[in-house]
Amino acid sequence: MTSNIRYRSRASRADDAEDKEYVGFATLPNQLHRKSVKKGFDFTLMVAGEFGLGKSTLVNSLFLTDLYKERKLLNAEERIKQTVEITKRTVDIEEKGVKLKLTIVDVPGFGDAINNTECWTPVTNYINQQFEQYFRDESGLNRKNIQDNRVHCCLYFISPFGQGLRPVDVEFMKALQDKVNVVPLIAKADCLTPSEIKKLKEQVREEIDKYGIKIYQFPDCDSDEDDEIKQQDKGLKESLPFAVIGGNTVLEVRGQRVRGRLYPWGIVEGKTLSWNLRLPFPALVLL
């Protein structure tokens, strides 16, 4: 997931001076690199799940921005009237000179109504529209500056209290599985003990298998990679669905400023948490 975002060029560029004189196919990788840096990348991420599961907090933690500054929380009356809608927020991020145009597609009101029948239809419609738009743009004459608005990935937030998937979770993931990469996440994992997280993960995995839900499959790493990377890759695949925590307050722990959550019985902090839960990647438990 993060590899798309924290893109770092691994290709070692040839010396610039030499580069200018030499003309041949050996410069093709360099040309590709320059072009991609100039053009930047587009990435569209969809976040979906019940209200209050920390979707916005997680997005803010992931990209260290505040995408939802102007958001107003609705009260119960407004939420009764609210329909499922799609909102889009775009932010330009730059890391080491490489630009990323990040679009976050949000589905406020999803699963929040009393009657949630077909509440995934606006979402599937939206995804289909983007495919259609891209297809039309690609069939057109001016194909140089096509804006790619297709949804690349959908983070689906599962309630930590459900003891498995709820009916609406199954239906949503099934409706989206052929259109977009669905990555299921267990939200607000700090309200579960490590053994409960393990049990819930197993239960969700079992149910995903049982209902034939196609979630995003991480590609296998190259066979010539280091053993350590292979191990990490295996661990990453095994830890699906990821358990996540979003922390938007900055606390001071042992003289250091960390993002976390302060409970009367202890501090939830990214590093210690991933260590305690024996997770392979601290970054997957985001604080």
Evaluate whether 284 touches 242 at the Cβ level (below 8 Å): yes
Q: Which residue type sits at 274?
A: S
Place of tokens 């302060």: 262
Q: Does 265 engage in binding with a copy of itself (CB under 8 A)?
A: yes
Q: Does 283 engage in binding with a copy of itself (CB under 8 A)?
A: no
Longest Cα separation, the chain: 69
* Cα atoms in the 13 Å half-sphere on the side-chain side of 58: 27
Applying CB under 8 A, among 123, 243, 268, 284 the residue interacting with a copy of itself is 268
Fill in the per-residue mask, 27 to 66: x = in contact with a copy of itself (CB under 8 A), - = not in contact.
Answer: -----------------------xxxxx------------
Question: Which residue stretch of 76-84, 88-96, 143-151, 219-227 sits at the interface with a copy of itself (rule: CB under 8 A)?
Answer: 76-84
Nearer to a copy of itself by C-beta: 126 or 157?
157
Q: Does 22 engage in binding with a copy of itself (CB under 8 A)?
A: no
| Alpha-carbon gap, residue 84 to 78, rounded angstroms | 12
Nearer to a copy of itself by C-beta: 207 or 233?
207
The minimum distance between CB 273 and a copy of itself, in angstroms, equals 6
- Report the site for a copy of itself in 78-137 (rule: CB under 8 A): 79-80, 112-117, 119
Question: Which residue stretch of 1-9, 143-151, 205-213, 229-237 sits at the interface with a copy of itself (rule: CB under 8 A)?
Answer: 205-213
| Alpha-carbon gap, residue 286 to 270, rounded angstroms | 6
The minimum distance between CB 140 and a copy of itself, in angstroms, equals 40
Nearest to 242 by CA among 179, 181, 160, 153: 160
Take residue 95 and report the two structure tokens written for it.
């890391």
| Alpha-carbon gap, residue 220 to 253, rounded angstroms | 38
Nearer to a copy of itself by C-beta: 105 or 277?
277
Nearer to a copy of itself by C-beta: 102 or 158?
158
- How many CB atoms neighbour CB 91 within 10 A? 14
What separation, in Å, do the N-terminal and C-terminal C-alpha atoms of the chain show?
Answer: 17
| Residue 219, SS3 per DSSP | coil
Binding residues vs a copy of itself (CB under 8 A): 50-54, 73, 75-77, 79-80, 112-117, 119, 159-171, 188, 190-191, 193-194, 207, 210-211, 261-269, 272-273, 276-277
